[in-house]
A and B are shown apart, each in its own frame.
Chain A
Amino acid sequence: MNCKELERDIALYAGGDLEQTAAIEAHMATCPKCRELASDLRELRGELAELREVALPTLSVRRPRPVRLRPWAVAGAIAAAVLIVLLIPKRADVAPPPRVAWVPPAPVVEMKPLAHARGSVARHIVPKQPEPNTEFVKLMTDDENVVILWAMNTKGDYR
C-alpha cells in the first residue's frame, strides 16, 4: 500500500483508534513522511484537547418556576374580557350594507372601423352581445346619483 492509501489509518492510529496497528507501524518504520504525518496528527489531537480548558461564560439556567395564577391576575383577565364584549358594537349600530340588485345582461358596444374608410380613424358603434357567462350586479348606494355596476364572469366554481 502506498502512503496516500494509509493516510486515514494513520489518522486513526495517531489518536489510538486503530485496532490493527502492526501494518501501519511496519510501514512507518521505513517511511519518514508517514511518521511526520502521525506526529503532526498527535500534536493536533493534543491541541484539540486543550480546547476543553477554554474559559466559558456562566450559564443562567435554573429550574423553571411553575406559573401560579394569582387572584388579582385572574380578576383582571375577566374584567378585560367583559370590557371587550361591551365595546363590540351592537348589530343596530352598524350601518347596513348597500342594497344589491341583479341586473340582466346588457349589450356591450364595441368600436369597429368603417368598411369604406380604410386607413381612417373613423369608428362607428356596433352592438355586441356580452359574454355568455357575464352577469352584472347593480349596487345601489345611499346617494341616488351614485350607482355601481359590477360585471362578473360567472364561469367558475365560486357560485
Chain B
Amino acid sequence: MAQQFPARAESFDDLVRGQERRVLRTALRILGNVEDAQDAAQEVFLRLFKYFNRLDPVREIEAWLYRMTVNVCYDHLRRRRPVEVLDWDPPVAATYEAALDLADRRRLLELGLMTLSPRERAVVVLRDIEDLDTRTVAEILNVEEVTVRSQLSMARLKLRRFVERKR
C-alpha cells in the first residue's frame, strides 16, 4: 500500500505555479525548442497530478520533477528522427551565420548544447544551468556520481571547443 503523507499545505495548482518555470526551463535546454519543451512540461505535470498524494511534500517533489522532466525529454528525443538526437553535428556554415546574425553568445551556447548527446546535455543542464551538485544529479539520473563527473567533464570540453570554433 502506498505511503500516505500528511495533507499538503499547497495545492496542486500552487505547486504547478511554483515549479513550472523550473520544469519548462529544464525541458527547453534538453529538447532545444519551446514547443517540445511545453509539451514535455505538460506531460510532467499530468504525471505529477497522478502521483501527487504519493510524494513526500518536503523532500521529494523537486528531485521527482527533475527526474520526470529528464525522462519525458528522453522519450521525446527517442521519438524524434535519430539524426536530431545523438551527437547531432549542426551544419557549420548555417549555425555560424546564425550566430553571427544574432551576435549572441547565448544562442551559440544553446546550439552547442544541442551538439551534446542527450545524457551529456542532461548532466550539463542539471549541474551547470540548474546548479545542482553532482550527487543530486546522479540521484536524479539514477547513475553513479563518477559517471556524472565523467560526462560532465567531457561535455564541458565539447562545449568549449564548439564555442571556440564558432567565434
Q: Which residues of A contact B (CB under 8 A)?
A: 7-9, 11-12, 14-15, 17, 37, 40-41, 44-45, 47-52, 54, 56-59, 61-64
Contacts and interface: CB of A to CB of B under 8 A. Distances in A.
Chain A: interface secondary structure? helix
User: Interface on chain B toward A: helix, strand, loop, or mixed SS?
Assistant: helix
A59 B109 contact: no
B27 to A, nearest CB: 10
Contacts of B98: none
B36 to A, nearest CB: 13
B143 interface: no
B3 to A, nearest CB: 22
Contacts of A63: 11-13, 16, 49
Given A47-B105, A56-B28, A15 B128 contact: yes
Among B16, B24, B152, B160, find the residue whose CB has the most chain A CB atoms closer than 10 A.
Answer: B160
Contact of B38 (A11, A41, A47, A57): A57
Given A51-B106, A63-B49, 18 more contacts: A8-B157, A9-B153, A11-B154, A12-B152, A15-B128, A17-B134, A41-B156, A48-B109, A49-B128, A51-B109, A52-B25, A52-B131, A54-B28, A59-B41, A61-B16, A63-B12, A63-B13, A64-B49
Contacts of B110: 51
13 contacts: A7-B153, A15-B128, A17-B127, A17-B152, A37-B160, A41-B160, A44-B109, A48-B128, A48-B159, A49-B128, A50-B106, A59-B42, A61-B41
Interface of B: 11-13, 16, 20-21, 23-25, 28-29, 34, 38, 41-42, 45-46, 49, 105-106, 109-110, 124, 127-131, 134, 149-150, 152-154, 156-157, 159-160, 163-164
Instruction: Among B12, B21, B25, B153, find the residue whose CB has the most chain A CB atoms closer than 10 A.
Output: B153
A15 B127 contact: yes
A49 B149 CA distance: 18
A123 B38 CA distance: 77
Nearest to B158: A11
